[in-house]
Each structure stands twice: as C-alpha cells, then as structure tokens.
C-alpha cells in the first residue's frame, strides 16, 4: 500500500492562508466557546450535541445485524461500510473540517464489540475468568492511553516568538558557516546544523515555529514536531503525545487479536484460527453465532487498517522522520521510497536505528521546550 499523497498542513501553501488571520482566530475561539459552557459545580458540560456523534451509534449495530442474516449480505455490508467511511474521510479532509464521527465510530465499535463479547460469548462457558479479565484489562488500558493521547500534541506557545526572533541572527550566521564548510551529500540530506537551526514564521499564528514544527489547518495551531492530524482521535499527533499514540495503537492491536482469537475458538472450536476466519461450517445456522462471526470480520478490517498505521509509525520512528516530513519530502521529490513506499528516507535527522529510538523515547514533552535528545545527556 502506498502512502497518501495529501498536501501536508503547511501554512507556506497559499491555499492554507486564505482569509484574515484575526477572523480565523475569532472563529476558532467562538467554536470552542460554543462547544462548552460552565455549568453545575463548575463542571464543563456540552452546550450542543455534535451531530457527527450520532451516525455510528445507529449504523454499527444496524448494519452488523443486517450482515448477520446471511453470507451474501455480510459480504455486501462489510464491503460498503469501509467504502462509506473512506468517502467521508476524503470529504472532511478536503474541506479541512473537524468532526467527531471517526472518534465516535472507534469508541462505539469498541464498546459494541465488548458488549457482544459479554452477552454472546461469555455465557457459552468457553471463556475463563482469567481470559475475561485479560481482555477487559486490555480494553481499559487502550482507553486510558487514548485519553492521555488526547491531552494535547504540544502546541507552539507565544513566548517562543521572542526566543525565535532573538535567535534569527545567530541562526543565519551558523547556517552560513555550516553551508560553506560542508558539501551536500547526495541531494537528499542537508547539513544537520542548517536543518536543526532553521526557524520559520507561521503566517497564520504569527509565531516562530521551532524546527520540525508544523501548522495544522484543521486544529488551527502550530504543533511541535508535528507528525499528522489523526481523525480517529480528533487531534494532532506531535511531540507531547506521539509516544502515547503509538502505545495506544499497540494496546488496541494486542487486545483486538486476543479478542478475535477468543471469539473464533468459541464459535468455531473445531477449526484453527487461520481457517476459521475464512471457513466456519454451520456458523449461519444460529443468528447469534452469525452475528459474532460478522463482528469478527468487522474487527479484522479495523485491525488491519490500524496495523498498517502502526507499521508506518514504527518505520518512521526508526528512520527519525515524521509523516508530515515524509509527505513534504515526497512532494518536493527529495526523499527515497523503499519497500513499496513503506519506507520514506529523507536522510535529514536520522542518526541510526538505535539513536533514533533513543531520541524518540527520551524527547522532551514540554510544550515550551525543544525536543530532548540522548546527546543532551553526554
């Protein structure tokens, strides 16, 4: 599978900067105020219900129950449903709109799968108490780290403006010296000092962005070490929550694989796990087993998509490149594609596999600070 060729959320693109900046800030502030209002005992309560939250609550149980009637309907529904989700994703991405549809879809799907697991699989007696506790613990940990991921990607603060302006002269001198002393390697990588010392002024936020920071047109703010805007969590992935995002994906994948194996062992005890997904004789004889089998296939589709995302994240961290940097490099034709496009090598920040992971695991999560690297310790 090839990477998406969407334009990265950069304010340098003229399409990103249409409209008055003050008007954009006022509209963003008005939207935030419109969503919440202080109410009982100072607890923020939603002022109006987001309409995009409701469709998944109706579509998921309705379509899955229709798909469980027979095999033909199951194939049709499980083919059309991902297509509708992808279509809505492209619509919202093109219009740069924030929506809770995908977050609601993910959370309600997880809750509905767990509900069917408790009501249809556990009463069969094939699941032990330890297995039930393990599956429940995995789901709870996934939700906990999802909440931690949504606490914020790390936004560029206004105080960085003065710091950036004061460092422009020294940065230019450092860049000139390094450029004159070093020669380009192969047209892909640039001098490390030049890249790490480079700062840009965001025309939308009017803030000096630190190296590797980017402006998100959906969130309307500059994010430190921005990776991408994830519609499934309705938030950006950046310096402050990138580790939590990858850990959330890992916990979900482990819990999903474990839950799928428990369900298949219960409804298809005579088949192995690999053959039971494709062939489970007599599964449509009872509606309850057919519904569980349909939910297994639905879970497999979601797990497969998130597994692809998890693999891309692991590869990007191994090469010390963010998804935003990879898209920019591909658009500017300054990167190498390897392994059918899974690996995008820019050659700018990479210090080797081990050093890249050490830098990622030890980078600073402070929104006001620069990313902490392992070399700062020695």
Which amino acids are annotated catalytic?
230
Q: Are 48 and 35 in contact (CB under 8 A)?
A: yes
Distance CA 164, CA 207 (A): 9
Structure tokens given for 46: 């939603």
- Give the angle subtended at the CA of 288 by the CAs of 129 and 270, to the nearest 5°: 65
Q: Are 374 and 215 in contact (CB under 8 A)?
A: no
Q: Give the count of alpha carbons within 13 A of 332, CB side only.
A: 14
Distance CA 41, CA 251 (A): 35
């Amino acid at each position: 599978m090839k990477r998406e060729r969407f334009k990265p959320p950069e304010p340098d693109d003229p399409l990103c900067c249409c409209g008055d900046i003050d008007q954009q800030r006022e509209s963003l502030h008005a939207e935030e105020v419109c969503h919440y209002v202080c109410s009982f005992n100072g607890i923020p309560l939603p002022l109006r219900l987001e309409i995009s939250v409701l469709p998944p609550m109706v579509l998921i149980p309705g379509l899955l129950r229709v798909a469980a009637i027979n095999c033909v309907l199951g194939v049709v529904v499980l083919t059309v449903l991902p297509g509708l989700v992808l279509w809505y994703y492209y619509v919202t991405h093109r219009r740069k709109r924030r929506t809770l549809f995908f977050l609601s879809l993910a959370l309600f799907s997880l809750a509905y799968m767990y509900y069917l697991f408790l009501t249809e699989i556990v009463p069969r007696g094939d699941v032990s108490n330890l297995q039930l506790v393990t599956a429940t613990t995995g789901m709870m940990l996934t939700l906990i780290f999802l909440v931690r991921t949504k606490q914020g990607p790390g936004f560029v603060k206004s105080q960085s403006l003065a710091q950036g302006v004061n460092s422009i002269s020294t940065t230019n001198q450092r860049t000139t010296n390094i450029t004159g002393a070093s020669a380009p390697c192969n047209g892909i990588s640039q001098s490390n000092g030049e890249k790490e010392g480079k700062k840009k002024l965001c025309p939308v936020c009017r803030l000096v962005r630190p190296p590797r920071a980017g402006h998100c047109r959906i969130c309307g703010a500059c994010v430190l070490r921005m990776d991408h805007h994830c519609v499934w969590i309705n938030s950006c992935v950046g310096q402050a929550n990138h580790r939590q995002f990858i850990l959330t994906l890992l916990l979900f994948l482990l819990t999903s694989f474990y839950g799928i194996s428990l369900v298949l062992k219960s409804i298809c005890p005579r088949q192995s796990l690999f053959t039971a997904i494709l062939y489970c004789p007599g599964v449509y004889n009872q509606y309850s087993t057919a519904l569980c089998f349909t939910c297994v296939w639905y879970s497999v589709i979601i797990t497969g998509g998130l597994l692809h995302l998890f693999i891309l994240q692991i590869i990007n961290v191994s090469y010390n490149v963010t998804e935003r940097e990879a898209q920019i490099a591909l658009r500017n034709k300054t990167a190498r594609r390897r392994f059918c496009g899974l690996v995008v090598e820019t050659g700018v920040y990479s210090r080797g596999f081990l050093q890249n992971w050490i830098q990622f695991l030890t980078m600073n999560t402070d929104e006001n600070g620069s990313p902490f690297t392992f070399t700062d310790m020695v």
